[in-house]
Structure 1
Amino acid sequence: MNFPFYIFGIHPHWLFESLAYFIGFRVYLYTRNKERIPMDKALWVIVGATLGAAVGSKFLYWLEDPNKTLENWDNLVYLIEGKTIVGGLLGGLIGVETAKKWIGWTRSTGDDFVLPLAVGMMIGRIGCFLTGLDDHTYGIATSWITGVDFGDGIKRHPTQLYELVFLGIVALLLFQMKKKNIGWEGLLYQLFMLSYLMFRFMIDFIKPTPHPYWILNNIQLASLLGIAYYIWLIHKKQTEKRREIHA
């Protein structure tokens, strides 16, 4: 296989990223709980998530190599070209919460986003893999059987595929929880975010990105903050549920 692997003459990153947004949104419309939030308010939540994700993904990318970002502070191409999923997720969280306060909505809306996010991210990672070295999402060199030569004669961890498989497993488990109505409103999204951030914290140790924050990179630092937040949030919800039971 040659990388990038063009499909009908279309660059794989552009094709699969477009498919990720389109199919993810269609999955949201099809699977969302219509009784949880009316569509007019749901659209505002989507707007908040989109804007927050756009800002968060760029901001975290700029922290990947702070010195390089400072050197290119006036280089518009550099500033707008990169983005990160973790930054998008955490920025989207802030955007959603801001939008909910704006429209006066207090119920959790996260569970409706779990499946669309998982599907969209899985599709997007296919595009990252087929793009090869140009995408900069591959892992370090490896002698494992999973190693892939992206065109330069070096076998590397296909971390894009590791993530795709991980997301598929998490989505399946959470879907089973949803069918059995396990937990409280918002738990599925909290578990999705917690599990994904833990995965990203670990997998980035085998990515050849700068690690300027002691032994951590920008993704791992943001993941740790997100992990701490979701552990605190889940513990808080569990405590509230116990109090309700014994009240």
Structure 2
Amino acid sequence: MTLLHDIDPIAVPLPFWPHGIHWYGLMYLLAFGVAWWIGRRRVRAGRLPGVNEDGFGDLLFYGMLGVVLGGRLGYVFFYNFDAFLANPLMLLRINEGGMSFHGGLIGVMVAAALWSRSRKLHFFDTMDFVAPLVPAGLGLGRLGNYIGGELWGKPTGGSWGVVFPDSLPADMAALPMERLRELHASGALDPFARHPSQLYQAALEGLVMLVVLLTYSRKPRPRYAISGLFALMYGSFRFLVEFVREPDAHLGYLAFGWLTMGQVLSLPLVALGLFLLWLSHRSPTLQPVPPPAPDPAP
């Protein structure tokens, strides 16, 4: 059975802004809200000694900047560098989409390093605290990709999958949605059904990683362990899903007729995760400490 993707990516039309408010942007806001909620609970449980909710608020602000700036820069430099060289101003065209997890991760790490230095904390104590806050945002972001009908998977080659209008041949993609619904009902669009790889990633990188990391981090763990598990899981899940995800049209496959840029960028994460888990076996365990009193009002 196939499903025709028929979702308006604009959640809130605005008369003064032609692009409106997209579901993808709302998913980012919701992701930060979930990170704030989980982070406050972890702070109250003493998972980041010496830091209260005010300090966590600063960390979250730094992290938000890291995600947005790093995600955009990562997309441009990892996936669209030629276009950037031809027109550097395309870096500012955020309304056209284009965010990279790997770039966002680098941005968060830079933000966490700066924040940790200001607080005189070990960098990986901060990253171990942050890791369980991330998967919900990853899952919501992939759900936003699905709603927007972007980053779809490869053809299923069977009588199941999702038909994404923008993935159809140009003459069919230009048809009005009413006509596409008629064609879908007749079965004419079934050969164009694709893997909803965005939902696969939402389930693995979002739900599965969230449950595993929250469960694992409920007890004190050695330094590096939570960060290592995060990197290992994400790198492995992303590498596997890339086999059924359509590669970027302007990049295609980088080697062997199957290796994608996403897989190339994920392999170092797998290696880093294994290395951090190895380091954790000889590292101290951070014990919970009640958070200090709130910062005095100015």
TM-score (norm: length of structure 1): 0.80
Q: Is the 8 A contact 2:242 2:263 kept in 1?
A: yes
Q: Which residue of 2 aligns with 1:73?
A: 88
Q: Which residue of 2 aligns with 1:57?
A: 71
Pairwise CA distance, 1:32: 3.5
Opposite residue 231 of structure 1, the aligned amino acid is L
Q: Is the 8 A contact 1:60 1:219 kept in 2?
A: no
The structure with the largest strand share of the pair is: 2
Q: Which residue of 1 aligns with 2:107?
A: 91
Q: Is the 8 A contact 1:3 1:150 kept in 2?
A: no
Pairwise CA distance, 1:149: 0.8
Q: Which residue of 2 aligns with 1:245?
A: none
Structure with the greater alpha carbon radius of gyration: 2
Q: Is the 8 A contact 2:223 2:283 kept in 1?
A: no
The structure with the largest helix share of the pair is: 1
| Aligned mates of 2:282, 2:57 — CA distance in 1 | 32
Aligned residues: 237
TM-aligned CA distance change 1:213 to 1:28, over 3 Å: same
User: Alignment partner of 1:148: what SS?
Assistant: strand
| Aligned mates of 2:225, 2:141 — CA distance in 1 | 25
What whole-Å deviation, never above 9, does each CA across 1:171-215 have from its counterpart, x for those lacking one? 223333234x27424422321222012211232243221247545
- Percent identity of paired positions between Structure 1 and Structure 2: 22
TM-aligned CA distance change 1:58 to 1:15, over 3 Å: closer
Opposite residue 123 of structure 1, the aligned amino acid is L
Q: Which residue of 1 aligns with 2:276?
A: 233
TM-aligned CA distance change 1:101 to 1:23, over 3 Å: same
User: Alignment partner of 1:20: what SS?
Assistant: helix
| Aligned mates of 1:217, 1:60 — CA distance in 2 | 16
Of 170, 185, 200, the match for 1:162: 200
Q: Is the 8 A contact 2:224 2:280 kept in 1?
A: no
Of 214, 217, 222, the match for 1:178: 217
* 1:122 maps onto 2:139 in alignment: yes
User: Alignment partner of 1:124: what SS?
Assistant: helix
* 1:110 maps onto 2:127 in alignment: yes
| Aligned mates of 1:199, 1:113 — CA distance in 2 | 19
User: Which ranges in structure 1 are unaligned for 5 or more consecutive residues?
Assistant: 242-247
TM-aligned CA distance change 1:229 to 1:72, over 3 Å: same
Of 20, 24, 35, the match for 2:31: 20
Q: Is the 8 A contact 2:224 2:276 kept in 1?
A: no
Q: Which residue of 1 aligns with 2:290?
A: none
User: Alignment partner of 1:83: what SS?
Assistant: coil
| Aligned mates of 1:82, 1:222 — CA distance in 2 | 16
Pairwise CA distance, 1:164: 1.5
User: Alignment partner of 1:110: what SS?
Assistant: helix
Pairwise CA distance, 1:170: 2.5
TM-score (norm: length of structure 2): 0.68
For 1:128-207, list aligned pairs within 5 A: 128-132=145-149, 136-143=150-157, 147-151=161-165, 152=168, 153=189, 154-166=192-204, 167-179=206-218, 181=219, 183-205=221-243, 206-207=245-246
